[in-house]
Amino acid sequence: MQAWNAVVITDADRANGYPVQIANPAFCNMTGYTLEELRGRSLKMLQGPDTDPAVVDRLRRCLQQEIYFEGSTTNYRKDGSPYFVRWSISPVYDEDRQLSHFVSVQQDISDYVRAERQNRLFARALDASNDPILLMDRQFRTLFANKAFSDATGYAIEELVGNTPAMLRSDQNQPEFYQDLITTLASGQPFRGTFINQRRDGTTYYAEQSISPIVDDNGQTSHYVSVSKDISELILREKFLQRVASTDQLTKLHNRLHGEELLKLAHRAAGASGSPLSLILCDIDFFKQVNDRFGHLVGDRVLATTADVLRRNVRSGDAVIRWGGEEFLIVLENCGLEPALALAERIRAGVERQSDPDVHKVTASLGIATQSPGESIEALFERADAALYQAKRAGRNRVMTAAESRGVAEAGPQA
């Protein structure tokens, strides 16, 4: 009678529906009936529209076979309100081993069932979202991943659960990015950033992702939830537009506008580090005659092939810019005069070796200037331009440095 669980004892009289003999206060509170109202009546009185007939049928068979039963279904209180009950029934025998009673221990699990149903509803709602969603524990192990997350990564949900999102790293985000992520979340703040992740098939994608801590009743972080969006198409489109905006479409080199920015950055870096900075100005010889004699299509081809020679002969980090018309600028960071001169000579020889189908031999003149301490961009460029001008005056198809150009300029009037 003092048991916390609801307990009811029924007679084994099958013909009368196993009438109630005794019920404890917990059972009366659960059903809303008094003991007087229950005694002598069948517990069928608790069944209603949502009572599962399959469970009732299994219960009936177990009672008939005098074996243990366990199940759960919906019952109804005296006031007609439903509740979800889980119960077990055991047969009781007398001294002669004859079935005399059944004892049933019951528990109202309505709150648990409602919570489970709500959890399933939440899970279905998250699964229906088009945005990839991830639920992680404090160690960032995945507890839940929705279908959109599985589709975005190419991993089955079973492969994701139990693992951390580190399995998606492509190593294209810098270490500082992940350090910022850890520091931000450790402070209890949400983190937002663009992750470059790797799918199961090895391809990469861009995910704009927000990760937020979930706190428990004590205010301590217990879980993390991540909501992301695949922005690969947006990023690729932006990169394409950036390339279009910064690239000369004919030669595929940097265009003048972008090249000016690169030149400023290189000048600023050289000033900060004290490293040498050199410029090479390259101009195709007699290019106007090429256009006039063979037409602009041939001229465009000569420009493109010359650009290829420049691209093949510079170092990987050097900026090659179509400065205008048939003129090209090469920005050589951390490069003094001697290596710049050797590089320029390789370019000159490379252009001369090219044979155009119509023009046949094409040559180029080049001027070099290496930055002096404290020299401005404008002054440095003017010296390279002067060196190129003197290379033209000296007969073309040659390389001349800014120092040599001063000598030519000084010797010119005396000659």
What DSSP string describes 118-132? HHHHHHHHHHH-SS-
DSSP secondary structure code for residue 45 in this structure: G
Residue 326 designated active-site: yes
**Looking at 326, 352, 404, 410, which residue is catalytic?**
326
22: tokens are: 């005794």
End-to-end CA distance of the chain: 127
What was the pLDDT predicted at 235? 86
Q: How far apart are CA 271 and CA 267, in angstroms?
A: 6
Please name the CATH architecture into which domain 114-234 falls: 2-Layer Sandwich (3.30)
What was the pLDDT predicted at 123? 80
Fold of 247-414: Alpha-Beta Plaits (3.30.70)
Fold of 6-108: Beta-Lactamase (3.30.450)
Q: Where are the domains of the chain?
A: 6-108, 114-234, 247-414
pTM over 0.75: no
What was the pLDDT predicted at 245? 81
What was the pLDDT predicted at 409? 40
Q: How far apart are CA 280 and CA 340, in angstroms?
A: 8
Examine domains 6-108 and 114-234 and report if their fold is the same.
Answer: yes
Query: Which residues, in sequence order, are bridge partners of residue 367?
Result: 281, 400
27-60 in b/e form (b: 16+ CB < 10 A) is bbebbebeeeebeeebbebbbeeebeeeeeeebe
Q: Which residue has the tokens 């090659």?
A: 320
Other beta carbons within 10 angstroms of residue 126's beta carbon come to 20
- One pLDDT digit (tens) per residue for the chain, 415 residues: 899 999 999 999 999 999 999 999 999 999 999 999 999 999 999 999 999 999 999 999 999 999 999 999 999 999 999 999 999 999 999 999 999 999 999 999 999 888 888 888 888 888 888 899 999 999 999 999 999 999 999 999 999 999 999 999 998 999 999 999 999 999 999 999 999 999 999 999 999 999 999 999 898 999 999 999 999 888 888 887 777 788 898 999 999 999 999 999 999 999 999 999 999 999 999 999 999 999 999 999 999 999 999 999 999 999 999 999 999 999 999 999 999 999 999 999 999 999 999 999 999 999 999 999 999 999 999 999 999 999 999 999 999 998 755 544 433 332 2
Q: How far apart are CA 307 and CA 321, in angstroms?
A: 9
What was the pLDDT predicted at 404? 55
